[in-house]
């Protein structure tokens, strides 16, 4: 399975290498999981969550309040974001990541 143009741009922005075992979870753009090398280590990645982790200041009040665990996220506990519902993660992704990607495509 190949990445879309948007997905590839996001992978490039995240400096992800050796993408393999791509699994598309829905028809939503970027709703994919894959194995890769990231920061010199092997990793399993869900693309929306990886983008939020690496491209945003997720501890900012504006983003933290969109999670299901705002106090945790605001205090720098990644599980406040990671353990949020998919709905919350998608809202953050579409509000902050998609506009960031669109300027490059």
pLDDT tens figures, 60-76: 999 999 999 999 999 99
Domain limits for position 64:
57-98
Q: Is the pLDDT of residue 104 over 80?
A: no
Judgement on whether residues 42 and 71 belong to the same structural domain of the protein: no
**Count of domains for the chain:** 2
My answer on whether 78 and 35 are in the same domain is no
- Among residues 40, 55, 70, the one where a domain terminates is 55
Judge if 12 and 48 occupy the same domain.
yes
- 105 domain-assigned: no
Are residues 63 and 43 located together in one domain of the fold? no
Looking at the structure, do residues 61 and 93 belong to the same domain, yes or no? Answer: yes
Task: Give the model confidence (pLDDT) of 3-47 as tens digits.
Answer: 998 999 999 999 999 999 999 999 998 999 999 998 889 999 999
Query: How far apart are alpha carbons 32 and 46 in whole angstroms?
Result: 6
The pTM score is: 0.92
* Domain match, 48 and 80 both: no
Give rounded-to-5 percent helix, strand, coil for the chain: 45, 20, 35
Residues in the chain: 105
- pLDDT reported for residue 67: 98
Instruction: Read off the pLDDT band of 105 (50, 70, 90).
Output: low
Q: How far apart are CA 50 and CA 10, in angstroms?
A: 10
Residue 10 and residue 46 in one domain: yes
| Spatial separation of the C-alpha atoms in residues 17 and 69, rounded to whole Å | 31
The pLDDT assigned to 2 comes to 86
Same domain for 21 and 41:
yes
């Amino acid at each position: 399975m190949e990445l879309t143009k948007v997905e590839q741009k996001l992978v490039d922005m995240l400096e992800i290498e050796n993408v393999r075992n791509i699994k598309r979870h829905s028809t939503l753009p970027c709703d994919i999981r894959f194995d890769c090398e990231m920061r010199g280590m092997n990793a399993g990645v869900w693309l929306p969550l990886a983008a939020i982790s690496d491209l945003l200041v997720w501890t900012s009040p504006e983003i933290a309040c969109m999670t299901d665990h705002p106090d945790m996220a605001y205090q720098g506990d990644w599980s406040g974001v990671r353990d949020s519902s998919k709905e919350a993660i998608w809202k953050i992704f579409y509000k902050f990541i998609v506009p960031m990607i669109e300027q490059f495509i």
